[in-house]
A and B are shown apart, each in its own frame.
Chain A
Amino acid sequence: MERIYLDSNATTVVDPLVKQAMEPFFCQMYGNPNSLHRFGTETHPYMSIALDRMYTAIGADDEDDIIINGCATEGNNTVLKGVFMDSLVKGEPCHIITSQIEHPSVLKTCQYLEEAHGVEVTYLPVDKAGLVTLETLKAHLIPGKTTLVSIMWANNETGLINPIKELAEYTKEQGVLFHTDAVQALGKIPVSLKEVPADYLTFSAHKFHGPIGAGGLYIRNSVSITPLLHGGEQMGHKRAGTVNVPFMVGMGLAMELATEHLDFLNKEVGRLRDKLEDAILNLPDTMVIGDRKNRTHNTILASFRGIEGEAFLWDLNKNGIAASTGSACSSEDLEADATFQAMDLDNNLSHTGVRFSLSRFTTEEEIDKSIDVINKTVQRLRAISSTYMGEQ
């Protein structure tokens, strides 16, 4: 066992079946699908299959659109800026409601719209469980004024799952557009647009064993959006740019496989996650954020009192284990992660939090080795710590 990858909320290994499906489209069937000749047209059936797989995976109606793009960041930007542009064209003010725990691709885009264009943005807080509640949304949504509500389905740091169905239903009842960033939900929990009346939904292939650099934006039929990229006629005029055939094919298959493996993820990956989580909680002065019942089955955000997150990652890395930290000290930005700040659980959490995220490729042997390394890391770094004074 050389390396152990426990950072699957950041990105995932490409499924070998997905890689195999993509390969013919690099050197054999490489024609531009918009060309008239046979090189171009021979890819159409494969793109059609890929789209079918995507529509099925998220329960989209045939009349709805799924725009293939570069990543979820592009999808989120398209929704937020597109809705603002639509308001601008109509000459109406734009009021967006989002939450304090969104991914930076939503938060920073909202901040840009606020600062550069005077858009009014409301950032909903989360409750003690780390969730955006319907009550909070009701308190801030103003029918006739609010233009868009954008709430993530599952949180990237904690894995906590928002009550997206009731949030979307209420928003639609009020005649307001609803968007959800489903990047951390797709492939981990059932995602069905037959159940959830979202107008827009974004996803990203590399979060469910597809290729990095491919994403999708779902747009419900009858809902308009101003494109982020103007140009050719691709994607029904909703996103210009030559279609990335191999990545589209890869993403389609990855989505199908992710849906098929949902049960395995929930049971087997969930069992391994729980085993790791139990071992962490058996150590003194540790905690895990969020109730297991409300979390994606692959995610643990743990806090080890007295140990700075980056120092923890350093020791894990030396032992071949990849995890992640929301610790401010490990990034360019010293400000604590928005999720940690919003949850307001423990002032030290943003500096002691380590995120372990599993995938369906994680093995029991890897979890056993990780538990051993975590135990040794906690022992070593607490011996160095100036803030850890023994069991509390």
Chain B
Amino acid sequence: MAKNDLLGGSLWDNYSNKVADRMDHPTYLGLITEAEAEALNARLVIADWGAESCGDAVRLYWAVDKVSDRIVKASFKSFGCGTAIASSDMMVELCIGKTVDEVLEITNLDVEKSLRDDPDTPAVPPQKMHCSVMAYDVIKQAAAIYKGVEKGILDDDEMVCECARVTLKTIQEVIRINDLTTVEEITDYTKAGAFCKSCIRPGGHEQKKYYLVDILKETRAQMDREVEQKKELPFSSRSSFQKMRMIENHFDAEIRPLLHKDGGDVVILDIKDQGESTLVSISYKGACMGCGSALTGTLSFIEQGLKDHVDESIRVSVE
């Protein structure tokens, strides 16, 4: 709390001129009919989305070119407040001319930034960011309808802060990598919790599945447990089974997800003690096979990770 927080400001004073203008005169308001879409040699997509938290709703119309997958015409209708209407209008503008795959890259942050009068001043007050999130969600819904898949497939995993689009995994990683101890630090590093603040702790204006305070507490507790486990018994004194589990856990948590992103994979062939060292024999799969860095950078990354997180004595060889 500080001087500038003591007085609640007028919500509308924090709307940019662009938001106000699009609220009063939305450019892409209306609907597209089947006949109009057909005349454009396009497929009509109609998507509905609603924000449970505030009751707002939006309907998005796309005419998607049957050959190029490009959105040649778009419009919307909205049940919502000023920011919901303005965000929907800007979202439609950002969609037009892009392919369906390209529009999937548009986020609520793009919508909000496009509504700014100047690059450094937010277009809407923090608590209204959720209205631009609805614009993002309806794009996903329309793309899912077009592709014939469930929207969930296109959703990011475990979104904690929808305003800043920060996932659970990112927050956990940032806490671990940077040894963060406060929510304020998480916000500084990721922007999570910087806008509507609902994700910081229970009791905000919107109920969330995850809260930063809980994630911080649980991640710190997990980090402490890991430190304690390391302290408990030296790696060299553990049984072969325990060593194998520790090494497997590290591969599952840290190594394989990264290799999977590039279409690669790795399997552990054997783990055996050699004098004071532990030798881990691995074999690459998928894109890692034949990759130029498999025997250099990737191998070094795997070995160093095991040394840092499991035990210094580990060496890795590729079969």
Interface positions of A (Cβ within 8 A of B): 306-311, 314, 317-318, 327-336, 348, 350-351, 383-388
User: In the complex, A351 Cα to B84 Cα: how many Å?
Assistant: 13
Residues of B within 8 A of A351 (CB): 54-56, 79
Contacting pair A330 B81 (CB below 8 A): yes
Q: Which residues of chain B are within 8 angstroms of A307 by Cβ–Cβ distance?
A: 79
Note all chain A residues with C-beta closer than 8 A to B53: 334
B61 to chain A minimum Cβ distance, whole angstroms, is 10
Partner of B58, one of A306, A310, A329, A386: A386
Q: Are A308 and B23 in contact (CB under 8 A)?
A: no
Note all chain B residues with C-beta closer than 8 A to A310.
81-82
Q: How would residues 71 to 111 of chain B score, 1 for a CB under 8 Å from any chain A CB and 0 otherwise? A: 00000111111101100000000000000000000000000
Partner of B85, one of A309, A311, A327, A332: A311
Total A-B contacts with CB atoms under 8 angstroms apart: 73
**How far apart sit A328 and B127, CA to CA, in the bound complex (Å)?**
11
B82 and A385 within 8 A (CB): no
- Could you say which of A309, A331, A384 contacts B77, with CB atoms under 8 Å apart? A384
How far apart are the CA atoms of A329 and B76 in the complex, in Å?
Answer: 20
The DSSP consensus for interface residues of chain B is mixed
List the A side residues contacting B56 at CB < 8 Å.
308, 329, 351
Nearest chain A CB to B132's CB is how many angstroms away?
13
B145 surroundings in chain A (CB, below 8 A): none
Could you jot down 22 A-B contacts, CB within 8 Å? A306-B79, A308-B80, A308-B81, A310-B82, A311-B23, A314-B82, A329-B55, A329-B84, A333-B205, A334-B54, A334-B130, A334-B206, A351-B54, A383-B29, A384-B26, A385-B78, A385-B79, A386-B58, A386-B59, A386-B76, A386-B77, A387-B57
From the candidates A333, A335, A336, A388, name the one contacting B79 in the complex (CB within 8 A): A388
With A329-B80, A329-B81 in contact, do A317 and B12 touch (Cβ < 8 Å)?
A: yes
Indicate if the CB atoms of B54 and A386 lie closer than 8 Å: no
Which one of B48, B55, B57, B78 lies within 8 Å of A328 (CB-CB)?
B55
Counting chain B CB atoms within 10 Å of each CB, which of A318, A336, A351 scores highest?
Answer: A351
Q: How far is the CA of A348 from the CA of B54 in the complex (A)?
A: 10
| Inter-chain contacts of B24 with A (CB < 8 A) | 318
Known: A329-B54, A386-B57. 6 other contacts (CB 8 A): A314-B12, A318-B24, A328-B55, A332-B127, A332-B205, A386-B77
Separation of A385 and B88 alpha carbons in the complex (Å)? 12
* Chain A residues whose C-beta falls within 8 Å of the C-beta of B81 in the assembled complex: 308-311, 314, 327, 329-330
- B143 CB to closest chain A CB (Å) equals 19
Closest to B125 in A: A332
| Cα distance, A386 to B88, chains bound together (Å) | 12
Q: How far is the CB of A377 from chain B (nearest CB, A)?
A: 12
A310 to B76, CA, bound (A): 19
User: In the complex, what distance in Å separates the CA atom of A387 from the CA atom of B58?
Assistant: 8
Count residues on chain B whose CB falls below 8 Å from chain A CBs. Answer: 28
Q: B267 at the A/B interface (Cβ < 8 Å)?
A: no
Nearest CB of chain B from residue A242's CB, rounded to whole Å: 23
The 9 closest A-B pairs by CB, nearest first: A386-B77, A351-B55, A310-B81, A386-B59, A334-B205, A387-B79, A329-B54, A333-B205, A329-B81
Question: B11 near A: Cβ within 8 Å?
Answer: yes
- Cβ-defined contact, A385 with B77, below 8 A: yes
From A314, A348, A386, contact of B55 by CB (8 A): A348
CA distance A334 to B56 in the complex (A): 11
- Complex Cα spacing A383 to B57, Å: 14
Q: Please determine whether B57 and A335 come into contact, CB atoms closer than 8 angstroms.
A: no
Contacts of A334 in B (CB 8 A): 53-54, 130, 205-206
The residue in chain B whose Cβ has the minimal distance to the Cβ of A314 is B82
CB A234 to nearest CB in B, in angstroms, measures 27
Question: Inside 8 A of B152's CB, which chain A residues have their CB?
Answer: none
Task: Collect the chain A residues with CB atoms within 8 Å of residue B12's CB.
Answer: 314, 317
- Kindly provide the distance from the CB of B17 to the nearest chain A CB, expressed in whole angstroms: 14
Nearest chain A CB to B126 CB, angstrom units? 10
Chain B positions within 8 Å of A386 at CB level: 48, 57-59, 76-79
Q: Which residues of chain B are near A387, meaning CB under 8 Å?
A: 57, 79
What residues on A are CB-neighbors of B55 within 8 Å?
308, 328-329, 336, 348, 350-351
- B290 at the A/B interface (Cβ < 8 Å)? no
Q: Does B275 contact A (CB under 8 A)?
A: no
- A351 CA to B8 CA in the complex, in Å? 22
Residues of A within 8 A of B127 (CB): 332
